[in-house]
Copies of this chain bind each other. A is one copy, B any other.
């Protein structure tokens, strides 16, 4: 498999040390899935410091996977936080604690999520192409998602093996035109799929 990963994953995209300094911090919530702190930071434009509520989440990967016919692999899953089922690309949190991530941890996560959520894998000789990352909501959380294009993917013999905590209702392979229509009609409403689509379009890959 061609992976063409550079070293970008070894440095966290959170935190530009130049001019930033944590002055104070208080934990507001230390949960299993979410940690919240009220922190005071010196910033380049605010040397006196500014206080902010920050939610910490594990980083994650999201993978825009296409089969040999250029169809996009999507899953429909129940999302309890919004109490709806959504069509989305495959995604999952990176279990490795903290940074730096190396390319192998990232690649393992991509392959694990493709297998678990969809029962798919990358074909021999296929590629996983990094598409950068994005912040889901930088106004309050450091959560960031690494985006990838994987092609071609194919069904694995065993089928999907979803995690107990997930409720994946459906799987489909959409053409790029179908996906474009779903995005235009507000039927695709998650930042994972929209951000991957933006990167792919901007890079001329769709």
Contacts and interface: CB of A to CB of B under 8 A. Distances in A.
Contacts of A16: 83-85
A144 B82 contact: yes
Copies of chain A in the complex: 2
Interface in A160-193: 165, 167, 169, 180-181, 183-184, 186, 189-191
Interface stretch (A73-81, A97-105, A108-116, A149-157): A73-81
A131 B103 CA distance: 36
Nearest to A197: B198
Contacts of A84: 13-16
A159 interface: no
Contact of A29 (B20, B36, B41, B78): B36
> Chain A's interface: helix, strand, loop or mixed, by majority?
mixed
Interface of A: 13-16, 20, 28-29, 31-34, 36, 39, 41, 43-46, 50, 52-55, 57, 60, 78-86, 88, 91, 132-144, 165, 167, 169, 180-181, 183-184, 186, 189-191, 194-195, 197-199, 201-204
7 contacts: A15-B82, A54-B80, A55-B55, A57-B137, A135-B189, A137-B141, A191-B195
